[in-house]
Each structure stands twice: as structure tokens, then as C-alpha cells.
Amino acid sequence: MCFPGDLVTSGITLHNDRLRVHVLPEEGGRITSFFDVRSRVEFLLQPSESYCRSRALDPWDRFENSACAGIDDCLPSVGACGPETSGGPVPDHGDFWRLRWNVVSTSKSESISMAATGYSRSLLFEKQLILYDSSLEIRYRIKNIADTPVPFLYALHPLFAIDRGDRIVLPPEVSTIQIESSRLGRLGVPGSVIDWPKPGGAGSSLDLSRTEAISASTAEMLYTGRLRAGCCGLYRAQSGQGIAVRFDTKQLPYLGLWLCYGGWPENSALARQYAVAFEPTVAPWGTLAAALKHGQAPLIGAYASFEFSIVLDRIGIDPVDFDTFAAQCCENAYF
């Protein structure tokens, strides 16, 4: 139960005449808002009305007990890993979404640098947020602070707000996609490869690039193959507004896609999620254990670092049609 004063109201806001970005260093370094000032569109999923952060999260709490909103970072795994995993167990969605991040520096309303140290692995995680005219760049550095190599799995975890009929854009090279999970086996079993965006073929009535209603009660986690172009986007059909996510495929060669239309969490006492997430990642697996099993978990050497950047870009000042948005989404992609 929440009481007055329980809700987190602090944090740091970056802003200009186009965008307002709010960050909570004390709550996992989470980006809580990516708000277009002119259109008044909030692109990030907000916490349910019942959510409050009235206690410190247990180091092994499940992600469903968090805000389940905004943008988090999953490191050194997405899903939980057991003690048999090289290096030991990892909590659900990794260490860092539940930690208080230290603010290293801020620059007026334009940038913020933060850092936190994990506990399941010897990793120092640093990120700098820089606000430009119509985009947000996030620069990351993962540093191994131990004298032995550390395998890891990283994925961005941005939960975008949606309405039925919004449109999902993936790189043009994506024609198939692999199932990590599909509630009640709707799309098939884990490991199956299906056509994108129509898993039943060109004549299928199901188009995964169009968001469904929350009443669909579905939840799917999907992964692309190795990408050449690091771009994807969400078009908000009702407002004619869109947001693109761009990433360097030399460092983040795969993209996870979470499509949740009221099918998660399974715990009926919790609010059902209605969101889409684009998850640039180092490997197309839901856990560090699986990435290790398939030989796709990168290693950070002793005292070495792994660096990369991700950009969230607002496309268009005025409303645009979908074709215009789709054409612009990958114009400035990393190659």
C-alpha cells in the first residue's frame, strides 16, 4: 500500500524547447519520461497507479515488482540465472535497475552522467545522457573492475507507451524473427523462426508490425538475426508522431522485440502491461546462461571496458504519415 510521500518525485530533468527527459538516478537510473513538448506526446510507458517505491528492493526481487515503466538497462543478464551459471547467479533483469546510481556530473539542463557498481558481477556501469534538439544520446561504458575476464549479457529495456493500431518499424533487412517466448504458444515454440511481420505468410491476418489491443492478453519476446543496420521505430498512429531507436551494430548486433498486449505479468494481482520494447543487445538470448551455452556471451577482460551509444530520435516537428516516418526511421542508422 502507498502512503503520501511514498511516490518518488525527485530526479533530474533535461529539457529544451522540443523535448523533456526525466531521470531517476535513485531508482535504477531509470529514464521515466521522454516527452515531446509541442505535440504533448509521452513516448514512455508510465507506472500503474498502484505503484510506489516505499521500500528498497531486495537484491533478488523480480522485475515485475518494480515500476515496470520507462527505460532501464539489463546487465549482466535479462532473465534470472541460477547458481550453475559461470560466475554465479544473476537476478531477474540484472543488477542495475534496482540500485541507486551516483550522479557524477550534470550540465545545466543538457546532460547528466551517472554510475553504479553491480553485485552479481564485478562491473562498473557508467552512462551519460545528452539532450540535443530533437534526440537523446545515451553513452555507455561497462568496466570490469576485477582481475579476471567477465562474461556478460546487455540489453536496453525501453518500455514504450502504445495504442491499438500503432506501427512498428524494423530494419528493412529483417524478414524473419526468432521466438524466445510466446504466451500460450500463440506464435510457436521457443527457438522457432517465423516470418516478419506476418508469421502466417503474406496472406495472414496477423501483422506483428501493428499493435493489438490490451484485451488480446498476449506477450511475445522475439529476436532478430545479426543486423547490419541499427535502427527501429514506433509510430503513434493517433497523433502522427514517431520515435526512432538507433544503435551501433558493431557493438550491439541484435535486436530484441517485446510485444506485450496485456499478457504479462502472470501474477493476476499485478497490473497487466501494455507496451512495446525495442531491445538492442549483444546476443539474441534472454539470459546470460543461454548466451554462454551458445557461445555468444561477450567477455570483458580484466580492467577492460566495453563502450557503445544508443540514440532516441524524435522524427518530425509536425505530424507525419506512416510512410514518411518509416522512410526516415533508418536514414541515420549506424552501419
Residue 10 DSSP class? -
Q: For residue 7, is it within any domain?
A: no
Q: Do 316 and 239 meet the contact criterion of CB atoms below 8 Å apart?
A: no
For residue 334, the model assigns a pLDDT of 61
Closest to 29 in 3D by CA, of 135, 159, 125: 125
The answer to whether position 4 is within a domain reads: no
Give pLDDT, residue 25. Answer: 96
To the nearest 10°, report the CA torsion of 43, 45, 46, 47.
-170
Instruction: Evaluate whether residue 6 is within a structural domain.
Output: no
pLDDT digits (tens, 9 = 90+) for 186-215: 999 999 999 999 998 878 899 999 999 999
Burial class of residue 266, CB neighbours in 10 A (0-12, 13-18, 19+): exposed
Residue 193: CATH number of its domain? 2.70.98.10
**Gap between the Cα atoms of 139 and 18, Å rounded:** 21
In a domain, 300, yes or no: yes
DSSP 96-149: GGGSPPEEEEEETTTEEEEEEE-SSSSEEEEEEEEE-SSEEEEEEEEEE-SSS-
Query: Position of cell 538507433?
Result: 246
CB neighbours of 154 closer than 8 A, spacing ≥ 6? Answer: 73, 74, 75, 76, 142, 252, 281, 282, 306
Distance, in Å, from the CA atom of 247 to the CA atom of 9, rounded to the nearest integer, reads: 31
| Residue 134 covered by a domain | yes
CB atoms within 10 A of CB 40: 9
> Left (φ > 0), alpha (ψ -120 to 50) or beta: where does 147 sit?
alpha
3-state secondary structure of 329: helix
Q: What is the pLDDT of residue 269?
A: 80
Structural domain total, the chain: 1
Low-confidence ranges of the chain (pLDDT < 50): 1-8, 335
Reading the block at residue 257, the C-alpha cell is: 522485440
Residue 44's CB is within 10 A of a number of other CB atoms, namely 22
The whole-number pLDDT of residue 279 equals 98
Convert the pLDDT of each residue in 37-47 to its tens digit: 999 999 999 99
d(CA 188, CA 128): 39
Domain that holds residue 88: 12-329
- Is 232 a member of any domain? yes
**pLDDT recorded at residue 318:** 87
Asked whether residue 5 is assigned to any structural domain, the reply reads: no
